[in-house]
Structure 1
């Protein structure tokens, strides 16, 4: 079959076409008007639609920005934002010198309706006057998160969620330094009293590195960060999230499984991998453990734990710690700190508590470790860490759903069974951590186990860098005086560190 010969295109033909759609002949009716639609905030699909509309009406609409452009049309941008974008382009200075008109999209849509370029009125012009520095409301914050009061009210949730996702991805990739950097940046944004509208407001704030500022700027300008969205869609990130979401599985194990081709729970179950007791329990109860724990459920567990503790030592008491103590309405687990007002009575308490809980059928899994903390006359033998050495029990709790009538739903499924109708099951699995502290260390343990994780990290950093002290969940050691500093309350610890007391509800860094 003989191919058709391509028709030669004359100069007059090509003059009537634009770079947008070279296959369609669109005569230019307004040669003195060359338009460019700015994609920023407008979006690619809307820009494409408006561009095609303009071409059909006989306007010159450039797909690529150049010095020829006489009218720049944008949506939801100020004149300053458009000029800033222009100056980032190779031809930005030339375009600025040519005084291209910066117009709101309303001028463009009115011109489309009229079938010609309408007169440019004041309401069509973008405000180009840059705000004076004095008009920009800048924020100011102390350097350490433990000096700041961070409630659950977050005025910058879209930004902090994005930074937290990048931090989590770094931590799952075992890049702890980068993870901490993103966490500190997110903590700064959480502590701000109002929403950020410009990165200029963040000048001079602590903890905001170049990378974090770039992500923040991207979100403020475009509504989302390309890096964050790319990470969120990454197959590796999604696999790491699923696998490390199994109780007892860390980043190293998950990475090894991924390299073996395991990316989800089904493949893990089919792989024949040998799992330890914790991992098997985590896999069996995966769905339950990924359901948020409510405050009511946490309180119900607290009542059971208190009964167990009282049966072992009538004078002992429990305190709920973690996010619930900071005022969070839900959590991923429940933490309890156990102590006895009589020093030494806490010894041997944990085995009795665990034995009672097991005898009553409340524990689906438990692993207990002994107290390995020894106070040295020479002070702490290692750098401060968020890992303490208290006696503890890491468990998966079987919580009965009281709202179901006994026997109304037929036989109760066994632990780990895959019931066809899960809502009819009369119990759920919940992660519960029990920690026993001597009363002499209780204030430090309470402070350490309340969190947040970053707040505690910053407390230890403040103690070391600003006070030459070593803080842990066991004690506070003054390196200058070479002695331990005792405290019976959190308020005393803050005072010893030279800090204003921060209530638990304000430690949500």
Structure 2
């Protein structure tokens, strides 16, 4: 087949468009969905339709027929809704009503009823052992009809008429008549169908339009209020010209308005961008409307979202009399840390339950949105404000109380004023209604996926749910992400305190097996702060003999794996052992680890190997599944010389331990790390726990932690007073 001249609309690509003898002009307005298609595949499909004189549209709201690489009805519906198409579900009987078919389908040329799995077709979807994702609402769509011809890539299909099958051929007139029956206008009036792209592949291969029914994924009725391409548009006066001959003439565009539509198209200014140019969706997403310290207002016409993320902060209105009132007559007695304007969370007590939890929870939702939009400054600002509000011991009644708190500014006061007046925050409602943020939150909850990776999944990969990641990106995931996706639902389950204690007892038993009975085990994290349920289990192991803590984590993990308690070891770091268990140097350019912690540790997946009916279950079925949920467990090793720093860091809430580092840096000129403290100027180790003198060595880990606070000039805070979040 010889290449034809490049299409006028594609001249900027300077590539030839394949020719076809199929007459597709009788199709309804058709749109090619880019989801799960490469740019070249999308262009090839559009070229084939254009060369067949199909009424191709680049606005999905004008289309009655949508071609795409989608197999699930629920996903097809979501794609249409995400692109602004308003739908109404069709009744089951109506959706099953067969479309008028051509004479070719009436000659018993229907696809076979036999089904087969995608994997048997050589699909790119990979089934992994132990990973089961079933969509009960569309389970049947996970298989494909075994048609006459398997689907092939567009580039491998001949777009010309197959001369080897004269019985399959038809004249243009006959084909047009058949199409007029199959694609009758009434069948598509105010409706939209999502059809597999395979339909186009097979039609081009056989040189004959195939029946849509076996390839239809989803069908819905368009809302009457939606403006469609078939709706009669008001006539617009334009420069008089002879009626233009339109090649892609469709019966779905009314004759009386055809010229008006074309005149409007000629009158519109030509777009300055190239629709074939691949845009960086991550950069597009990083626009001021969803990224940055401020969210967009409703007047931003360039917003990518259907609604503004938040509304502008309202200014507070205060009367003169409010300012004339004595502060003491309105505000309760201010805590000392408020009067002294102590900005560091480590300088004040923050209990687990605050009288302002309802308002704080709303601010946490905005903070999460800031995190998902990569607004690091906004995340830190909201974290500081939330920690200050959580430490305030009274129920806030006035915006003046907000403005008096360190770390709380006019914005927080305005949000409180709105919440106190209405019982809600419009900003939070806008965020929760945004479809992009809903998906980003779901991706962010995968263990091993951060905010940046979640945005890459959504904007760069085009994935919209967990099934997309499994089907189209499983092999590209890291091992940690694969495990996080495999046990997604189980990892979201909270762990009660009794189970945390049981897991710790097992770890302690194995630690003593590989060392001796003098090993110390400390449960840290949310459990030690008093939470009734935890997201994971954090355990620190230590020993007064440093030789016992050297590479201890490796030995403990191997022992637990032999018993079957650990099903997966995701990371195992020996960073501290590699530097001879010394505190982290001031210059960390060549040292592994980051954040507040560089200790030896293992992040593992835990499953209790025992359950009450284990013996009976295994007797009935040797492959019986363990019903116990998988848990996330962190095993941390600390040498005794700095065990107080390790416990202080791993016990405290995120903002509390962040401010421990900030306080040490700004107030003392030190570098605080869970492996120890050093002077920034000289790099000298600061022995806060009295290790160098045997007379002053700590007798237990509780004493060591208290000495860390005392050595830094801070009042010791109990674990349940460090709940900053």
Alignment TM-score > 0.5, same fold: yes
Does residue 533 of structure 2 align to residue 333 of structure 1? no
> Looking at both structures, which has the greater relative contact order when contacts are Cα pairs under 8 Å and sequence separation is at least 6?
1
Task: Return closer, same or farther for 1:471/1:495 CA change in 2, 3 Å cut-off.
Answer: same
1:134 to 312, 321, 328: 328
- CA RMSD in angstroms comes to 2.9
2:457 to 253, 257, 262: 257
Distance 1:221 1:406 in 2: 60
Match of 1:493 in 2: 708
Task: Return closer, same or farther for 1:377/1:497 CA change in 2, 3 Å cut-off.
Answer: closer
Map Cα deviations across residues 168-218 of structure 1 (whole Å, 9 max, x no partner). 221222222210110111111111112112212223311113332222222
Counting only pairs closer than 5 Å after superposition, residues 38-187 of structure 1 correspond to structure 2 as: 133-138=327-332, 139-140=334-335, 141=338, 142-187=342-387
Does residue 654 of structure 2 align to residue 453 of structure 1? yes
Which secondary structure state, in structure 2, belongs to the residue aligned with residue 427 of structure 1?
Answer: coil
Which runs of no fewer than 5 residues in structure 1 stay unpaired?
A: 1-83, 88-127, 416-424
Which secondary structure state, in structure 2, belongs to the residue aligned with residue 393 of structure 1?
Answer: strand
8 Å contact kept, 1:400–1:428? no
Does residue 578 of structure 2 align to residue 388 of structure 1? no
Structure 1 position 478, deviation (Å): 3.2
Match of 1:347 in 2: 550
Match of 1:114 in 2: none
Match of 2:424 in 1: 224
2:575 to 356, 368, 371: 371
Task: Return closer, same or farther for 1:413/1:272 CA change in 2, 3 Å cut-off.
Answer: farther
Task: Return closer, same or farther for 1:355/1:320 CA change in 2, 3 Å cut-off.
Answer: same
Does residue 718 of structure 2 align to residue 503 of structure 1? yes
Match of 1:443 in 2: 644
Which secondary structure state, in structure 1, belongs to the residue aligned with residue 545 of structure 2?
Answer: coil
Distance 1:327 1:404 in 2: 32
Does residue 495 of structure 2 align to residue 278 of structure 1? no
Distance 1:251 1:270 in 2: 21
Length, aligned pairs only: 378
Distance 2:712 2:346 in 1: 11
Distance 2:392 2:623 in 1: 48
Which secondary structure state, in structure 1, belongs to the residue aligned with residue 575 of structure 2?
Answer: coil
Task: Return closer, same or farther for 1:300/1:411 CA change in 2, 3 Å cut-off.
Answer: farther
Distance 1:257 1:504 in 2: 37
1:324 to 527, 547, 550: 527
Match of 1:111 in 2: none
Does residue 667 of structure 2 align to residue 463 of structure 1? no
Task: Return closer, same or farther for 1:207/1:403 CA change in 2, 3 Å cut-off.
Answer: farther
Task: Return closer, same or farther for 1:276/1:481 CA change in 2, 3 Å cut-off.
Answer: closer
Counting only pairs closer than 5 Å after superposition, residues 470-485 of structure 1 correspond to structure 2 as: 470-479=671-680, 483-485=684-686
Structure 1 position 379, deviation (Å): 5.2
8 Å contact kept, 1:320–1:337? yes
Structure 1 position 398, deviation (Å): 0.6
Structure 1 position 378, deviation (Å): 11
Distance 2:433 2:637 in 1: 42
Match of 1:266 in 2: 467
| Structure possessing the higher radius of gyration over alpha carbons | 2
Distance 1:235 1:169 in 2: 12
Which secondary structure state, in structure 2, belongs to the residue aligned with residue 151 of structure 1?
Answer: coil
Distance 1:485 1:254 in 2: 40
Task: Return closer, same or farther for 1:219/1:239 CA change in 2, 3 Å cut-off.
Answer: same
Match of 1:59 in 2: none
Distance 2:485 2:621 in 1: 23
Distance 2:429 2:447 in 1: 27
Distance 2:522 2:720 in 1: 15
Which runs of no fewer than 5 residues in structure 2 stay unpaired?
A: 1-315, 690-703
Structure 1 position 376, deviation (Å): 8.4
Structure 1 position 479, deviation (Å): 4.0
Distance 2:523 2:395 in 1: 32
Distance 2:330 2:594 in 1: 40
Task: Return closer, same or farther for 1:245/1:490 CA change in 2, 3 Å cut-off.
Answer: same
Distance 2:615 2:468 in 1: 37
Match of 1:120 in 2: none
1:193 to 373, 378, 393: 393
Distance 1:236 1:506 in 2: 36
